[in-house]
Structure 1
Amino acid sequence: MASIKVILNPVAGKGFAAKAEPDIIGYIKELELEFDLVRTKEVGHAIELAEQAVHDGFKTVVAVGGDGTNNEVVNGLMNAAAKGKEAVMGTMAAGSGSDFTHNVGVPKDLKEACARIKEGKTRKVDVGKFQVPGHPVRYFDNQFGIGFDGTVTMVAKRYKKLRGMALYLPVVFQTIFIDSKPTFVNIKTDNEEFNLSTLQISIANGNREGGGFYMAPEAKVDDGLFDICIVESLSKPGMIAIVPKFMSGAHVNHPKTRMLKTKKIRVTSEDNLIAHFDGELLHNIHDIDCEIIPRCLSVIY
């Protein structure tokens, strides 16, 4: 039996993953690795496939896609771990952002990523766990965003062809002028509680999202802490001015930005919040409870 299960999302990266599939198969065969490849068929399918792969005895489960695919595989592995069965995760960048792949140190080049699978060097990383009333417990590996970047994620899904920064930059500016609205929230962390009107709240395990926006530039995936970026409400000119700073991490010095670290955070609001976790959308929510699970996932890098 093969020891590696490869889970490929054919629609990831606006179809890039499907086009890359023959190359990936070729690279793995060149490395003389025994593997079984399966394609996802619908949203949520990779969760089921990853969990089943662990129960079937696969020692390594590789996600080929973007951050949504990585998220689903992480959720499947975490579900299996809760039942006493574990596997190592591999990841290949074939999505619109692929920020988790970048944050754990896997090269973007698919041939080199396959070589890393053969080398098998692993590291332990943290995973975020969240609960929203009316939804099952879920996990996120990179970032949970509330407000502005939740709306950016929603708008980005309307674009069918672009990927990477070519996708996210025009979407960001459309969000500023058409779709973005401030929200009034209550925030509770390990040591603080406060109320304020916000543009954006990023609950970050990794430091990058959206293919190049460093919302939490000091975040580390293995330090047992969330890095929280809170940007208070801004005028449209103020939003236009701060967006380029997101790309360099310079926004952390902006007077309307607050950065902090915590193991747990709860965000509540009477407003309808739009959020995303690793690019997966949540609409019209009012209560979000997140906590970090330290160094619980083994990832090849």
Structure 2
Amino acid sequence: MTEPSGRTFSFLVNPVSGGGAAPAAVVPVARILRDAGATVDVTYSSGPRATLDVIEGAVARGEIVVSVGGDGMLSSIAGRVSQLGGTLGIVPAGRGNDFARMLGLSSDPEEVAAILLEGAPRAIDLLSVRIGDAEPRVVASSVYTGVDAVAGEIVDKVRWLPGKLQYPYAAVHALATYKPIEAHVVIDGVAHDFGAATVVVANSKFYGSGMKIAPQAEVDDGLLDVVVIEAAGRRGLIQSLPKVYDGAHVELDEVHVVRGRSVTINGTPSVPMGGDGEPLGQLPAGVDEATRIDVLPGALQLLLPS
């Protein structure tokens, strides 16, 4: 490992990420960094939304802000770091770690520390999400509505299950009770209408703890991958679920993939919306209240292997 060249780090830790795994993940990484001569400050947040003044102070001091947790924690930090022109690092320590999976990042402390010490900042895209007149939110990986958002709500209720079983369990149970959405989706000004089980607007290939929902997505191409799975019988949807893990679902007739830079979605009935494992609200019914999702090209400087 080379000298850190005076790098300083401000770790922001979600103590509940990964069923409490995040605090334990900090210790070996911080020790390696300090042994290499780096300065490390650690702050524990009360939830996935980091304290804004901590981020602002860290960026103002020229520190690299490090997200320790899962995708929700990362998204809660990334927007503010991007706005302030800072650099972000990742210690993957959540249940899903889908954005880290997309970037090929390991949770091994030695590998994590090597990237923080030696990695180079790379510009990646983010998503801006506005539901109706609400303030826009920044999401790193994907926004979704329909059966997958319902599954996300179920995941939060089954933390007693082993982590690897939570998402598959939630997906099957959500499919067993889902109601199709009459979705109106506008992509770069072109309107599409679907009877959909789910609509996903993706910046990353992965969501739902390893499901390869958008196989062609890239985090630095300035495009959104909109994946619509049309409503089918519950049995057919459950049988097709395994295909999502390797991306083979996009070959099915009921799956549509459209790429663009700006997307609006509305539809009925009212169903949940989620983003990177966090609830965003309900899908608006009216066109005037539609959810708008825009790509923010190259918005975030993220430390990655050089």
Return the offset for 1:62.
Answer: 0.5
Which residues of 2 match residues 37-48 of structure 1 at below 5 A? 37-48=42-53
Whether the 8 Å CA contact 2:146–2:199 is kept in 1: the answer is yes
1:74-153 correspondence runs (5 A) = 74-78=78-82, 81=83, 85-153=84-152
- Once the two structures are overlaid, the 10-residue window that deviates more, 250-259 or 278-287, is 278-287
**Counterpart for residue 37 of structure 2:** 32
Equivalent AA in structure 2 for residue 157 of structure 1: D
Which 10-residue stretch deviates more, 269-278 or 243-252?
269-278
Aligned counterpart, 2:277 = 279
1-structure distance, mates of 2:156, 2:196: 23
TM-score of the superposition, structure 1-length normalised?
0.92
Q: Distance in 1 between matches of 2:211 and 2:40?
A: 34
**Aligned amino acid, residue 19 of structure 2:** K
- Name the counterpart of 2:203: 205
Per the alignment, in what secondary structure is the counterpart of residue 248 of structure 1? Answer: coil
Structure 2 match to 1:193: 191
Q: Distance in 1 between matches of 2:268 and 2:207?
A: 27
1:173 is displaced (CA, Å) by 1.1
Q: Secondary structure at the match of 1:272?
A: coil
Distance in 2 between residues matched to 1:191 and 1:230, nearest whole Å: 17
- Structure 2: stretches of 5+ with no match in the other structure: 1-5, 285-289
Any idea what SS the aligned residue of 2:280 has? strand
Q: Displacement of 1:77 after TM fit?
A: 1.2
Compute the displacement of 1:196 (Å). 1.8
| CA separation of 1:292 and 1:4: change in aligned 2, threshold 3 A | same
How far apart in 2 are the matches of 1:134 and 1:248? 37
- Cα offsets for 1:53-88 (capped at 9, x unmatched): 223x2331110100011011112213xx2xxx3111
**1:48 CA displacement:** 4.9
From the superposition, tell whether residues 260 and 71 of structure 1 become closer, same or farther in structure 2 (CA, over 3 Å): same
Say if 1:51 and 1:31 are closer, same or farther in 2 by CA, change over 3 A: same
Partners of 2:202 and 2:214 within 8 A in 1: yes
Residue by residue over 1:247-285, the C-alpha shift from the partner in whole angstroms, topping out at 9 and shown as x without a partner, is 010000101000110000000124213111111102333
Structure 1 distance, partners of 2:7, 2:51, is 19
Kept in 1: contact 2:271–2:282 (CA 8 A): yes
Backbone CA RMSD of aligned residues: 1.8
Per the alignment, residue 72 of structure 2 pairs with 68
Q: Give the deviation of 1:43 after TM superposition.
A: 4.3
Alignment partner for residue 23 of structure 2, among 12, 18, 23? 18
CA distance in 2, matches of 1:162, 1:22: 26
* CA spacing shift, 1:277–1:115, aligned 2, 3 Å: same
Aligned residue number for residue 217 of structure 1:
215
Change in 2 beyond 3 A, CA 1:209/1:46: farther
Q: 1:143·1:205 contact (CA, 8 Å) conserved in 2?
A: yes
Compared with structure 1, are the counterparts of its residues 252 and 131 closer, same or farther at alpha carbon in structure 2 (3 Å cutoff)?
same
State the secondary structure of the residue aligned to 1:234. coil
Q: What secondary structure is seen at the aligned counterpart in 2 of 1:295?
A: strand
CA–CA distance in 2 between the matches of 1:119 and 1:105? Answer: 16
Q: Which amino acid aligns with 1:22?
A: V
Provide the C-alpha distance between the structure 2 equivalents of 1:5 and 1:251, rounded to a whole number of angstroms. Answer: 40
- Which amino acid is 1:34 matched to? T
Distance between the aligned counterparts of 2:161 and 2:303, measured in 1? Answer: 28
Q: More deviation in 37-46 or 144-153?
A: 37-46
3-state DSSP of counterpart to 2:274 = strand
Quote the residue 1:230 is aligned against: 228
- When residues 300 and 277 of structure 1 are mapped into structure 2, their CA distance, relative to the original with a 3 A threshold, is same
Secondary structure of residue in 2 paired with 1:100: helix
1:51 equivalent to 2:51? Answer no
Ranges in structure 1 where 5+ consecutive residues have no aligned partner: none
**1:111-165 CA deviation, whole Å, 9 max, x = no partner?**
2111110003221101111111242111111011111111111110112244643
State whether structure 2 residue 247 is matched by structure 1 residue 242.
Answer: no
Match status 1:296 vs 2:299: yes
| Aligned-partner SS, 2:135 | coil
Q: Tell me the equivalent position of 1:9.
A: 14
Contact map agreement 2:12 2:42 (CA 8 A) in 1: yes
Q: In structure 1, what residue type is equivalent to 2:296?
A: I
Using the aligned pairs only, state the percent identity.
Answer: 23
Q: Deviation per CA, 1:210-239: give whole Å up to 9, x if none.
A: 221011011000000001110010111111
